Amino acid sequence: MTMKQKTRKLTQKQTKFKENILKGDNGTQAAIKAGYAIKSARVVAHNNITNSNIMSEINRRNKELEKKTNWDVEKLVKKHENIIEQAEDKGDLSTATANVIAIGKTFAAYTDNINNSQVQPVSELTAEDKAELKRLAMLSTGIKLVS
């Protein structure tokens, strides 16, 4: 935040958006539940996530939760990693995958702010694209895909 930017009180919708994000909703879901129009939810989600006032509120609340629960991101990730290791040892790929996704969500690695006009239909993928997707799937699941 620059010197000229002032911390402004969040609107009612922004407050609901923040609360939904803290509950674990993705940006679009949080925007819709906060009362924003479905058509503009992705754009609103992006704008809200990049809004320094909203993010400072989210960060403040996360710090409060860390103090209250004695859990921080590092401890959470380690717990998920342990679950992943145990699940993989048992061959439980569903649990392992769910925990990998949970780690990704912890770091906001997944976004729903994708411009669908840039998504390439599967039928248009090149052989190289398909090979790369198979490689990535194998890395994330440990399962070798056959053609």
| Phi, psi (rounded to 5 degrees) for 115 | -80, 110
Tens digits of residue pLDDT in 6-56: 568 899 999 999 988 888 888 899 999 999 999 999 999 999 989 989 988
Tens digits of residue pLDDT in 80-110: 888 888 888 888 888 888 877 777 666 655 5
Q: What is the dihedral of CA 22, 30, 8, 107, to 10 degrees?
A: 50
**pLDDT score, position 110:** 54
Q: What is the CATH number of domain 9-69?
A: 1.10.10.1400
Whole-number Å distance between alpha carbons of 3 and 41? 30
Which pTM value belongs to this model? 0.48
| Phi, psi (rounded to 5 degrees) for 72 | -125, 175
End-to-end CA distance of the chain: 51
